[in-house]
Amino acid sequence: MVASGTGLAGVMVTAFDDERASSVTVVAAADGRYRLPPMPARSYRVRATRLGWRVAEKDVSLTGVEAVVDFVLDATDDLNAQLPANYFYSLLEWPTQRVKGDFSRACANCHQIGDHVRWKRRSRDDWEVIVNRMIGYGGVPFFDETREVLLDTIATTFSPQAPQPSFAVPAAITGDAARAVIYEWEIDPDDRPSCHDLEIGLDGTVYAVSGLYAIHPETLERSRYPVRGGGHSIERDANGDMWITAPGPE
């Protein structure tokens, strides 16, 4: 893994197995080298990503012998589009920690706070519509002092006139995190449902809602169970039974 002719550490390299709707990811070492675990002989999409550089991808067919896949990464010209939510969340300036915590609880109860798409520039009227909609969904701040500054703080920080934020490229992944091997599975590659909540069964099966979808990571056995109106959350009891809260039809 190289950038500008030198080894690039901390690049996440992912091999996608589209046939089995699964993937495995490792992190490149300090010299830019990486090694994926043994995988069945078939075709894969291999992708290299690191914050601050453009994504690179190659198609690879394994035939039972070790394959070498090299990447050359170019610096991105849009770092903000790659950064996680906490970068943009940090731009919001609240009068006290109490207010900041109240805002976080109210909004993060349903979704992450601060990703690049959610915090795009909007007019104050547009933000007012969004804030009122979220309050209607139940994202209501506890404290009066939060409600008093909520709209103005968001609308000022992310107005069309606000300066475009500038961040430094994050440092490379190091330590134990750089030695991780990450396995991922599409829970249902046909429907590709959203995941509002998930729970792991006693046998290792992963269950997710909305609706109810399940996959066993070792066997890749997948199943789906219709739930009228979708589903909101799922919990496992002491006996291993799954309990679902379902909002019902609209």
Looking at residue 129, its pLDDT comes to: 93
Q: What's the pLDDT at 207? A: 93
Distance set, CA 118 to CA 14, 113, 154, 213 (Å): 26, 8, 11, 27
3-state SS, 139-161, equals CCCCCHHHHHHHHHHHHHHCCCC
pLDDT, position 248: 60
In the block, tokens 């919990």 appear at 235
Q: Which of 1-5, 15-19, 34-38, 135-139 has the lowest mean pLDDT?
A: 1-5
- Please give the average per-residue pLDDT across 162-189, as a whole number: 91
17 burial (CB, 10 Å; 0-12 / 13-18 / 19+) is middle
CA dihedral 52, 58, 60, 66 (to 10 degrees): -40
Burial class (CB in 10 A: 0-12, 13-18, 19+), 113: middle
Which pLDDT belongs to residue 63? Answer: 84
Tell me the average pLDDT across 21-36.
94
pTM, entire model: 0.80
Domain ranges of the chain: 2-78+170-183, 84-157, 187-244
* Residue 108, pLDDT score: 77
Computed over its alpha carbons, how large is the radius of gyration of the chain? 22
- What is the tens place of the pLDDT at every residue in 225-239? 888 777 888 999 999
What was the pLDDT predicted at 59? 95
Kind and range of the H or E run holding 235: strand 233-236
Q: Tens digits of per-residue pLDDT, 72-129?
A: 999 999 898 888 888 888 889 999 999 999 998 888 777 777 766 667 789 999 999 9
Q: Give every CB contact of residue 93 below 8 A, 6+ residues apart in sequence.
A: 153, 157
Which of these CATH numbers, 3.40.30.10, 3.30.43.10, 2.60.40.1120, 3.40.50.1370, describes 2-78+170-183? 2.60.40.1120
Handedness of CA 91, 177, 39, 69 (dihedral sign): positive
pLDDT at 58 exceeding the cut of 60: yes
Instruction: Give 188's strand partners.
Output: none
Whether 37 shows a pLDDT value over 80: the answer reads yes
Q: What pLDDT, on the 0 to 100 scale, is given for residue 2?
A: 52
DSSP H helices in the chain:
85-89, 97-108, 124-136, 144-157
Residue 226 DSSP one-character state? -
User: Tens of pLDDT along 187-220?
Assistant: 999 888 888 889 999 999 999 987 889 999 889 8
- Cα gap 37→9, rounded to integer Å: 18
Q: d(Cα 59, Cα 86) in Å, to the nearest integer?
A: 33
Start-to-end Cα distance in the chain: 50
